[in-house]
Chain A
Amino acid sequence: MNATRRIAGLTAALLSATMLDACRHKAPDQPAPAVIPAAGPNADSARAAQEAAARRAADDAARRRAADSAAAAAAAARDAAAAAGALRTTLTAMVHFDYDQADLRPDDRAILDAKVPILTANPAVMIRVAGHTDERGSDEYNLALGQRRASAVKAYLVQHGIAESRVQTISYGEERPMAQGTDEGAYSQNRRAEFEITGGPQTLRKP
């Protein structure tokens, strides 16, 4: 029984010390706690107040830790999505052509070169290349011209090691213009090949 009483006495002493310690460390500009311990010699009430304050501090810390880790996870996800989005954007970036031509221009080749490693790193990905023309020329002949443009793109990708079966070619001729208008500004945007991912995993692997 003595031991028990002694421990209780020690606990009270420790608690007092903790209380004093807490008072000493309290910064003057800190906002007042929501519940102010009642002044006076009531040790029980002082102890309860101290316990509540400690719990709140622990809870706050835990909340902060949780929030930090969630933010980190979200940031990581954002980064991954951005990376995947960038890959997707690269893979579906359009190429453009000169009037009544299906030859790849140097800038087209650079755009296609950027797609090759992504396709190589993601062998399950299938793509569809759609050839388009501007509104000038024969409507029917332009369907064939669009097909030639899509085929020129595909031939380049196949030359650079992409399996023939992974690239489908279609043509819309002049039937699906990207830009309305009857000037070269609109025409040059409409003479294009578009890329669509038609198969493979949702998330692209980095090359």
Chain B
Amino acid sequence: MKAFARAAFALAAGMALNAGTGRTALAQDTTFRGITLVGNYDPLRDKISVAVLPVSGAFGDSLRAIIQRDLDFSDRFTILPVEGGDVDAARAGGAASGLNYSIFQRLNAAAVVQMTSMSNGIHVALHDVAKGQVVNVGDFALPSAGFSREWRLAVHRTSDEIARWMTGQRGIAATRIAYIRGSGKSAAIRIVDSDGAGEITVPTDENGFGPAWHPSGTMLAYHTYGDVASRIVLFDLATANSRTLATAPRNTQYITPSFTPDGTSILYARSGENGSDIYAVGLSGTDAPRRLTAGRGAQNTSPTSSPDGRRVVYVGNGHGQPELYIMDADGTDARLLTEYDFSDKNYRSDPDWSPDGRLIAYQEQIGPNFQIRTIRATGGAPKQLTSEGANEQPSWAPDSRHVVFTSTRSGVRQLWVLDTETFRMRQLTTSAGSRLAAWSSRLTQ
């Protein structure tokens, strides 16, 4: 009972804060995609209060911790600190489902997640506290080897489904981030889970660089640079096989590969003695690459497709300084996206088009450092997302809400994740020299 009182106090404090922002807790109730919420609910700003009950059985504690963290990292839920004693008290109420909803109501919980270990996975029940009933159930298979990457991914997928039950939108826990860690010859492509756990190293040639995800999440593309012939390489994550898609001729290098949204081809920059131009090449490798830009000595790099595949945003310095341009997918109708100021030493680069098509995140030099900004794909005033340290190389999560980027705010280059709605920031990596992150799509396999 003591622990329960503590939790209730914490909630009361939270409610007081909520009242301080001018939101009225007693307005008309909202039923949003299956969970009844007390008061008006803004899905972008407000968080649903969720209690995740302890899980019995092997790996139960780890499973609960991962689910709680995933929901927390989605920035759409407030995880209530429920302890074993609280649950016993709640059960003692003797409700039909085994939960005393009035106690969770007093905790201000909108939902309770109850998980039960089964022989081949877990059974999940979602309780709507206001309705006092179970509103959704599901069985989730988990690989038997606890803590394996596959097991963790299966748990993340469970989190994402629970998030979908509550908000109508799948979470982004079952995703991974590919990036470069290390410097010089020790630099390598790594892949880490969305929560920062389970890092692996991709076996590449010495100078593997600039990883990009296939839309299916089953394949990476990267390029190589340096004193061996530059290549674009495809790496199959299931089989760990590498395949060279294209080898650059002498005095030329292929850089900044990215897949088109239909997954059938790669956009990349060919950087040589006549500047850098953007090309497209099919994954079959049988068709000749198609050139999309005519730089005439200028430097065009970093192409990224719009999610409908009809346009491409890229970096060009045709006006002198690196700026963002948008062209049609066939290379016609190139237009300056970022506003060019002749009196300014502009430097804008590393664009990434949000999966919902609305925004383009990029880096811009502001003062001595680069900062992350977003601009609408239709142009207009940019919005600055960072200001602490140097912040570069943004990549959108599949929810078009979170962005992973490189930041020096902790002293050395690390990957950080920003929620562009609440501006909450979390550090993803803890090994120095992490950079060039690419966020995968939702991983279904």
Instruction: Tell whether A and B belong to one assembly.
Output: yes
Residue numbers of A with Cβ under 8 A of B are: 100, 128, 130, 137-141, 143-145, 147-148, 151, 154-155, 168-173, 175-176
- Whether, in the assembled complex, B129 has its beta carbon less than 8 Å from a beta carbon of chain A, the answer is no
Residues in A with CB closer than 8 Å to B370 are: 137
User: B256 to nearest A CB, angstroms?
Assistant: 5
- The reply to whether the CB of B302 lies closer than 8 angstroms to some CB of chain A is yes
One of A137, A140, A148, A176 near B184 (C-beta < 8 A): A176
Q: Which 5 A-B pairs give the minimum distances between C-beta atoms?
A: A138-B349, A151-B273, A144-B271, A147-B271, A144-B276
Inter-chain residue pair count (beta carbon < 8 A): 89
Write the B370-406 contact mask toward A (1 if CB under 8 angstroms, else 0): 1000000000000000000000110000000000000
Most chain B CB within 10 A, of A128, A148, A171, is at A148
Q: What are 22 A-B pairs at a CB distance below 8 A?
A: A137-B347, A138-B302, A138-B363, A139-B435, A139-B436, A140-B209, A140-B256, A141-B299, A144-B271, A147-B252, A147-B272, A148-B275, A148-B299, A151-B251, A151-B273, A168-B250, A170-B253, A171-B253, A171-B271, A175-B187, A175-B225, A175-B226
Q: How many residues of B contact A (CB 8 A)?
A: 37
By the criterion CB–CB under 8 Å, are A141 and B393 in contact? no
Decide if B269 is an interface residue (CB 8 Å cutoff): yes
How far does the Cβ of A71 sit from chain B's closest Cβ, in whole Å? 42
- C-alpha spacing A39/B299, complex, angstroms: 98
The answer on a CB contact under 8 Å between B251 and A140 is no
A137 to B256, CA, bound (A): 15
Nearest residue in B to A145 (C-beta to C-beta)?
A: B299
Q: Which of B74-103 contact A (CB under 8 A)?
A: none
Q: Are A141 and B302 in contact (CB under 8 A)?
A: yes
Q: Please name all residues of chain A whose beta carbon is closer than 8 Å to the beta carbon of B321 when the two chains form the complex.
A: 100
A135 to B365, CA, bound (A): 13
Q: Which chain B positions have C-beta within 8 A of A144?
A: 255, 269, 271, 276, 299, 301
A138-B315, A143-B271, A147-B253 given. 5 additional CB < 8 A pairs?
A140-B209, A140-B436, A170-B251, A172-B226, A175-B225
Q: How far is the CA of A164 from the CA of B423 in the complex (A)?
A: 53
Knowing A147-B253, A175-B187 are in contact, say whether A141-B301 is a contact too (CB < 8 A).
yes
User: What is the bound-complex CA distance between A148 and B295, given in angstroms?
Assistant: 13
Most buried by A among B253, B269, B435: B253
Q: Does B183 contact A (CB under 8 A)?
A: yes
Q: Give min CB distance, B123 to chain A, whole Å.
A: 47
Shortest A137–chain B CB gap in Å is 7
**Nearest B-chain residue to A172, judged by Cβ:** B226
